């Protein structure tokens, strides 16, 4: 079992990485250990950032918060809620995937994995909300990028690069994030008994309207059991469209949806039910306790019906999110997973294995994308940030 060093500040992070850089020793970066994404890492030392915890600055009127990487997501979101604010990208809580219960982990892990929930397609991904950061690169040097406001664009693209790099580029020591006002009110417009072709047409029509949909998901009849909310019928497929804003505006837009889809079977979830409905989706609660592979398949919207048609006889569960641009899939065996990988390679898609067993993580790739230039770019970025390749080696790809 690898020995773990718990850093208390940026200086200790820098010294630790510098020593291992000089000795060519690989290091695994960890927070609370709640996110088992990516390939298993062979290292004699772990560098934990969990003890670097706390909110350094929070200015609600300026819409930003500055935190240490080991700060729990629960603590941050509770603090934001007191001021009627939240993260617009709605970060996923992956504890349900790995432990069968809530464990949102640390903000450093959330940023490193670029975790973005149902609000992603309207409000942007996590990487769009990182205003700046401090970190230590693979040679032990301290780096800084960005600031505390969106208008400060110095190094802004660098913030996007480290989001979703899974700790392969640097060890985060401080993070500045944009926050957003909580919506005044919300309801969910449900449409029942649609096939996936009809669902994708509904997404297109509603999202092209001026109704400002902030959540758009679809569960087939075979997958609707994912949802536990009693007010959702489990005998038919369900499509959900979330409407947020002032109460009168929400009511008017719900009425507009009723007119737009008057020939369909519809109902409305109230604000309390809406919160539960989207929480279950955001946190993958319906996949809790599963030993199967869980993966995210991202495709151009025009290719999603081709994907669903191609695999409609395959034994797997899925639900669509982000207006049909992503399918979250539960797959029983590696052969079926490999078929999906091949499909993504041929159809301009991306596949990320979110949950798998340790045997898979020892030897298999968990990222599959159709753009081979991205892997080449990832390798060049790795060499730039981490010249000896000691930070989370092979985490993203073999050799990176």
**Domain match, 195 and 239 both:** yes
One domain, residues 33 and 148: yes
Query: Crossing angle of helices 196-207/247-260, nearest 10°?
Result: 130
Domain that holds residue 174: 1-182+372-400
72, 83: one domain: yes
306 contacts 317 by C-beta, under 8 angstroms: no
- In which order are the strands placed within the sheet that holds 27-30? 3-6, 45-48, 27-30
Shared-domain flag, residues 169 and 125: yes
Looking at residue 374, its pLDDT comes to 86
Task: Report pLDDT for 400.
Answer: 82
pTM equals 0.93
Residues 315 and 383 both lie in one domain: no
What's 24's DSSP letter? T
161 and 46 fall within a common domain: yes
DSSP code of residue 313: T
Residue at a domain's end among 228, 252, 282: 282
Query: Do residues 300 and 110 make contact, with C-beta atoms less than 8 angstroms apart?
Result: no
List Cβ neighbours of 184 (8 Å cut-off, separation of 6 or more): 244, 245, 246, 247
Contact between residue 231 and residue 187 where contact means Cβ atoms under 8 Å apart: no
pLDDT of residue 152: 46
In terms of DSSP bridges, do strands 55-59 and 142-146 run parallel, antiparallel, or are they unpaired? unpaired
| Boundary residue ending a domain (217, 251, 282) | 282
Instruction: Say whether both 121 and 53 belong to one domain.
Output: yes
Question: Tokens representing 80?
Answer: 């934001």
Which CATH number belongs to the domain containing residue 225 in this structure?
3.30.70.2190
State the total domains in the chain. 3
Q: What is the CATH number of the domain that holds 83?
A: 3.30.465.10
Q: Classify the C-alpha dihedral 378-399-365-102 as positive or negative.
A: negative
| Residue 339 and residue 201 share a domain | no
Angle at 116 between CA 115 and CA 120, to 5 degrees: 160
The neighbour count for residue 315, using CB atoms within 10 Å, is 11
**Same domain, residue pair 52 and 156:** yes
Based on the fold, state whether residues 59 and 177 are members of the same structural domain: yes
Please list the pLDDT of the chain residue by residue as tens digits (400 residues). Answer: 579 999 999 999 999 999 999 999 999 999 988 888 899 988 889 999 999 999 999 999 999 999 999 999 999 999 999 999 999 999 999 999 999 999 999 999 999 999 999 999 899 999 999 999 999 999 999 999 987 654 444 444 788 999 999 999 999 999 999 999 999 999 999 999 999 999 999 999 999 999 999 999 999 999 999 998 887 888 899 999 999 999 999 999 999 999 999 999 999 999 999 999 999 999 999 999 899 999 999 999 999 999 999 999 998 999 999 999 999 999 999 999 999 999 999 999 999 999 999 999 998 999 999 888 888 889 999 999 999 999 999 998 888 8
Say yes or no: 36 and 177 in one domain: yes
- Of 229, 260, 282, the last residue of a domain is 282
- Give the span between the Cα atoms of 15 and 34, in whole angstroms: 26
Q: Are residues 57 and 143 in the same domain?
A: yes
């Amino acid at each position: 079992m690898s020995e773990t060093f718990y850093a208390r500040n940026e200086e200790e992070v820098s010294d630790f990485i510098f020593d291992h850089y000089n000795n060519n020793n690989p290091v695994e970066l960890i927070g609370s250990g709640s996110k088992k994404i990516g390939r298993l890492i062979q290292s004699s030392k772990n560098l934990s950032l969990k003890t670097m915890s706390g909110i350094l600055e929070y200015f609600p009127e300026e819409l930003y918060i500055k935190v240490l990487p080991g700060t729990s997501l629960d603590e941050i979101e509770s603090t934001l809620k007191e001021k009627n604010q939240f993260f617009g990208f709605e970060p996923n809580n992956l504890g349900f995937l790995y432990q069968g219960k809530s464990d949102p982990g640390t903000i450093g892990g959330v940023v490193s994995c670029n975790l973005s929930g149902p609000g992603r397609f309207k409000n942007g991904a996590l990487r769009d909300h990182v205003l700046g950061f401090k970190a230590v690169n693979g040679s032990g040097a301290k780096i800084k990028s960005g600031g505390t406001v969106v208008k400060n664009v110095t190094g802004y693209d660098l913030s996007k690069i480290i989001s979703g790099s899974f700790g392969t580029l640097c060890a985060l020591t401080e993070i500045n994030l944009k926050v957003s006002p909580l919506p005044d009110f919300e309801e969910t417009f449900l449409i029942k008994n649609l096939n996936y072709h009809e669902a994708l047409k509904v997404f297109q029509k509603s999202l092209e309207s001026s109704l400002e949909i902030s959540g758009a998901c679809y569960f087939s009849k075979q997958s609707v059991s994912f949802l536990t909310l009693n007010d959702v019928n489990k005998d038919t497929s369900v499509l959900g469209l979330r409407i947020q804003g002032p109460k009168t505006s929400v009511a008017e837009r719900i009425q507009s949806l009723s007119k737009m889809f008057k020939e369909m079977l519809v109902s409305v979830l109230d604000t309390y039910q809406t919160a539960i409905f989207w929480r279950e989706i955001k946190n993958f609660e319906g996949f809790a306790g599963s030993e199967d592979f869980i993966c995210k398949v991202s495709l151009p919207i025009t290719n999603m019906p081709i994907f669903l048609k191609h695999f409609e006889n395959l034994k797997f569960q899925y639900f669509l999110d982000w207006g049909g641009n992503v399918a979250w899939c539960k797959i029983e065996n590696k052969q079926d997973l490999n078929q999906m990988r091949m499909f993504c390679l041929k159809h301009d898609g991306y596949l990320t294995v979110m949950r798998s067993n340790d045997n898979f993580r020892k030897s298999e790739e968990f990222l599959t994308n159709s753009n081979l230039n991205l892997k080449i770019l990832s390798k060049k970025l790795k060499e730039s940030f981490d010249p000896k390749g000691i930070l989370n080696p092979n985490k993203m790809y073999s050799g990176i």
